[in-house]
Chains A and B, each alone.
Chain A
Amino acid sequence: MKAPLLCACLLAAATRAFAADDFLDRVDQALTLSIFDDQVRTRVSGLLDLEYYHYPQPPPGLIRAEDHDLFSPRLSFFLDTQVGPNIYFFVQPRVDTGFDPTDLGTQVRLDQYALRVTPWDDGRFNLQVGKFSTVIGGWVGRSLSWENPFVNAPLPYENPTLVSDVELPLTGQSFRAVPGSDKYEFLPIIWGPVYAPGVSVAGRVGIFEYAAEAKNAPLASRPESWNDYDFGHPAVDLRVGLRPNEAGRFGFSFAEGSYLRPDAGPLPSESDPADYRQFVLGQDISYARGHLQIWAEVFEARFQVPRVGDADVFAYYVEAKYKITPQLFGALRWNQELFDSGRDPTGQPVAHGHDVCRIDAAAGYRFTAHSQLKLQYSVARDDFISNHLQGTFAAQFTVRF
């Protein structure tokens, strides 16, 4: 009953948003400021997201909530500043109920801020310093609600493995015996856009692209780790890519870094959290032409787990979006995450994870250039809790200003 009621409210809000479209265009103009004869220009913009989830317990992905329904509003602001043609600065603060949807109350965070220097006009070299999203993969660029055809992220970016950065297993057997309610203690292969602080260089020369970054935390690290500003054991991420034309893009990525938090325990004697690392190999490919967009990514990740050894995981997804009419689009995504098994250092058999497959189907409608409604239904088969199919409904209404 709650879901239809909420959808009705969202539709009512959408109607109001349609009337406000011209107003939001004016707000956009009013929030663009310029000084020094247009050499310094600043624009403030934002996204208001109203999200609703209905799911079985435990909730899917990185959602943390005790009920079967969750309403998760989010307000994101973006400050983009261009100083001359060669310097770009951006800031992204956010007010929500947590970096991932929770029922734990309101948070205010500074997710991103960075300064980028582009010495040459052709983009062959960019230097960026600050706290910003990872250069790895191909999903980050569409992670915000307006660009993402779905409400959630692909499986590799949000599905917890059995690897924890805090609670370490005492034996190989205890590695698998994880209660579902503690899912937040465990890490996905990549934690969303990974807004970790660091420095990056990136560029494009002809059809070739490159990017490299050194950050304080690796891809799997949780948002709390991003804010530690401890660069004692920096993570390194690399991506080289090929863009033969504007329609297609292919990239190969490598990342590694120590993923355990300083308070992780219990550690084996004479070992240090920095001794245990995450390695990721990734490939991303995308194609866009006309009204069709297709993306796919493959990740092979290895976590070095104390007392367990190497826990390997293979994950991939294939995603497509098609604009059916100028305002209506549909999207479909197939995700799968497969874990290997092995023996712990004592010779005990140990499964390194619980295989998951999930299909996401979504439809979106843009009422105006500033408002959008997305409805999504996901079906997952996850032996984490049971072998049964689990369905999740999600709705997201977005106002862009």
Chain B
Amino acid sequence: MNGNLLLRLFVALSLTPAACLGQATIEGRVELPKSHFAPVASERYEIVSKAGVLATYPPRAVVYLQGDFPKPSALPTKQVAQKDFAFAPALLPIEVGTKVEFPNLDDTYHNIFSYSPAKRFDLGRYPPGEKPTPFQVFDKAGLVTLRCDIHEHMRGLIMVLDSPYFTITDAAGHYRLTNLPAGHFIVKAWVDSKTTRERPVDLKSSAVLQVNFP
């Protein structure tokens, strides 16, 4: 009876992919820049205004693993909403090829556009609840700055990465990258368009590596 159980366990372990067996983790903290302030909406010519937006606007960092990884066959659709005259989330990391929808959750028009070299588009003016939800597929790696042609203060970022292994820090800079393959890679922390920190790492199966970016 015990021998049969051990045999079954051996067969199960033999069929498990090595990548799943040896999933590594990196965790640590990225030193974030001084907190930005919430934007101020310009309403000089819009004499009928609603109460001012007081949304917080804390900086975040994107931490990702750089390497040569296989392309996924399918990617989940992501969303960047316009809510309370701000992009939510304000920073979205995605993998190349991801479709991102831009639902309008305010009660007025928005006109999302980007002139970034990684993706130039203009969705035109559309009302809340627009169906189908306006979207773009981001097929080139790079930083995409989102803006609204109607509301000058609105700004958001989409970071298009060539890697499936990425995460976003919390407001204090803490992060945790899980399910990583074993091997030698470079882990990068994107802080802003001028600041990207990086560290070489050797990831071992089932190990948790502490990497801080001061």
Contact = CB atoms under 8 A, between A and B. Distances in A.
B155 A25 contact: yes
A118 B44 contact: no
A123 B48 contact: yes
A353 to B, nearest CB: 29
Interface in A20-58: 21-22, 25, 29, 32-34, 38-39, 41-43, 45
B132 to A, nearest CB: 14
Nearest to A32: B37
Interface residues of A, number: 63
Contacts of A211: 47-48
B49 A126 contact: yes
A211 B48 CA distance: 8
Interface string B7-41: 00000000000000000000000000000111111
B125 A22 contact: no
Contact of A86 (B40, B52, B147, B194): B52
Interface string A131-143: 0110100001111
A113 to B, nearest CB: 10
Nearest to A241: B48
Nearest to B109: A246
* B contact residues, range: 35 or more
B193 interface: yes
B149 to A, nearest CB: 9
B39 A43 contact: yes
Contact of A202 (B44, B47, B194): B47
Contact of A369 (B41, B108, B121, B147): B147
Given A38-B56, A326-B115, A366-B115, A118 B49 contact: yes
Given A22-B194, A128-B47, A288 B38 contact: no
Q: Interface centre among B37, B48, B153, by most A CB within 10 Å?
A: B48
Given A45-B42, A288-B109, A22 B49 contact: no
Contacts of B48: 123, 126, 202-204, 209, 211
A116 interface: yes
B145 A29 contact: no
B32 to A, nearest CB: 14
B38 A41 contact: yes
A118 B38 contact: no
B35 to A, nearest CB: 9
Contact of A88 (B38, B43, B109, B120): B43
A377 interface: no
Interface string A176-203: 0000000000000000010000001011
B42 A122 contact: no
A141 B152 CA distance: 13
A123 B46 CA distance: 11
Contact of A135 (B47, B54, B126, B153): B47
Nearest to A113: B44
6 contacts: A123-B50, A133-B44, A140-B45, A291-B122, A326-B122, A327-B115
Given A38-B38, A86-B51, A122-B50, 8 more contacts: A29-B36, A41-B39, A78-B42, A82-B40, A200-B47, A290-B124, A290-B125, A326-B121
